[in-house]
Amino acid sequence: MRKYIGLDVHSKKIVYVAMDEQGQVIGKGQIETSEAALKKLLRQVRCRKGTQVGLESGQQAFLVARWLVGLGMEPKVIHAQEVRAKARRKRQKSDSRDAYEICDGLRRGIWEAFVYVPTQKVQRLRQLLSRRRHFVKVSTMQVNAAKFLLRSVGVKFAGQLASEQAWQKLLAQKELRPLREHLQMHAEMWRLARQHIDRLERQLEEATEDFKQQMEILTSMPGVGKITAAGFIAAVGDVRRFEHAGKLASYLGVVPSSYDSGERVRHGRITRSGPDWLRALLCEAAHHAGRLNHPLNPYWRRLMVRHGYRRAVIAIAHRMVRILYKMWLRGERFDVGKLNVVYEPGTLQRQYIYRLREAV
């Protein structure tokens, strides 16, 4: 007889409900959040290999899902928004009720929004990229804090504070002697953060060796560097789980929202679903299309004239997602011949009637 298990996972405890095919509850309660306790529960309920175990997406979901895979189960991570939307008693939430809803919905087959459970290697990539983003943010905070101190005393520093030489040049200025102690604190924090970033990037180089072929394919596209390619692999995981490029673009949140009711059809801003950090990387890569030697520059110029700068960036990022999807799926490097562009260097002459007056 087939059995189903629903788990409501927390950092310290797991509330569970087990059912048979007829919907009869054969076990319920709570256990400690550990692999040993989970193994004891499966043995107690007498689950066979391949039993479906449902759990809601959350901070501990991927960890528990990996434990279940190691124990021979089939974990089903369900999106938290769908669990809340299909709850029978939305205003009477409890852990036991959530576990029952997850288990019963798994038995009836009502769940549709399943979350991808990354492999150990993909999870390693995600962790390294996450820590790198954290220390990049810390280093940027030190630069901004130093500039704030300079503005507070009316000093204008013509530099970016992006290197050790720039910080030394700033600290050597005589007029900044009252602020030198505080600036030195920010310089030390910036220096430590950069050391962590360098170490994480070396670890990232080692982690991407398992995805060497995908990295070579994705980085062949102009504007896509190693960090963007690694982020794309970490977020997507397995490109074959998307039927077409449009579903991947929707998953990454670079498609416009829509409202279609009756005779009224409206489109708004992008949905912003999926990982926001990858969307930021794609938008940074899309800025390269503004260069004249970029293959997507003709699309960029047309979008800039029609829709403006911001929409052009989003539209180019959307097009890049579709191109990267096809490259990865087919195992092909970037080929400018497949774009609707022609390599024809030339000079664009502009004619105008009005111009700005010369400053007096």
Per the rule left: phi > 0, alpha: psi between -120 and 50, beta: everything else, 113 is beta
pLDDT at position 263: 80
The C-alpha atoms of residue 175 and residue 326 are separated, in whole angstroms, by: 57
Mean pLDDT of the chain: 92
- Rounded Cα–Cα distance for residues 297 and 290 (Å): 6
> 168-198 pLDDT, tens per residue?
989 988 888 889 999 999 999 999 999 999 9
Q: How far is CA 225 from the centre of its chain?
A: 16
pLDDT value at residue 360: 53
Would the pLDDT of 115 be above 60?
Answer: yes
Q: What are phi and psi of 102, to 5 degrees?
A: -65, -45
Residue 335 has pLDDT above 70, yes or no: yes
What single-letter DSSP state applies at residue 133?
H
Q: Give residue 352's pLDDT band: very low, low, confident or very high (50, 70, 90).
A: low
DSSP helix, strand, coil percent of the chain (3-state; round to 5):
55, 15, 30
Arithmetic mean of pLDDT, 129-149: 96
What was the pLDDT predicted at 185? 96
| DSSP run (H or E) holding 307 | helix 297-307
Give the distance, in angstroms, between the CA of residue 163 and the centroid of all CA atoms in the same chain: 28
pLDDT bin (cut points 50, 70, 90) of residue 358 is: low
Burial of 125 (0-12, 13-18, 19+ CB in 10 A): buried
Q: Identity (one letter) of the amino acid at 346?
A: G
Average pLDDT of 146-163? 86
Bridge partner list, 298: none
- CA 154: distance to chain centroid? 39
50-95 pLDDT, tens digit each: 999 999 999 899 999 999 999 999 999 999 999 999 988 888 889 9
Long-range contacts of 253-258 (CB under 8 A, 24+ apart): 253/279, 254/279, 254/282, 254/314, 254/317, 254/318, 254/321, 255/318
Task: Name residue, tokens 């670890």.
Answer: 203
Residues of the chain above pLDDT 70, percent: 96
Contact 38, 68 (CB under 8 A): yes
pLDDT number for residue 245: 96
Distance CA 276, CA 255 (A): 13
Q: Where do the structural domains in the chain lie, given as residue ranges?
A: 3-108, 120-212, 224-338
Per the structure block, which two tokens stand in for 219?
């980085």
Higher pLDDT, 19 or 292: 19
What's the pTM value of the predicted model, to 2 decimals? 0.88
pLDDT of amino acid 343: 83
Secondary-structure class of domain 3-108 per CATH:
alpha beta
- 214-223, 260-269, 325-334: lowest mean pLDDT where? 260-269
CB-based contacts of 291-299 (< 8 A; 24+ apart in sequence): 294/222, 294/223, 295/222, 295/336, 295/339, 295/341, 296/222, 296/320, 296/339, 296/341, 298/341
Give the integer Cα–Cα distance in Å for 24 and 107: 11
Q: What is the average per-residue pLDDT within 293-302?
A: 91
Residue 347 has pLDDT above 90, yes or no: no
Provide mean pLDDT across the span 275-284.
Answer: 96
Return the axis-axis angle of helices 180-207 and 164-171, rounded to nearest 10°.
180
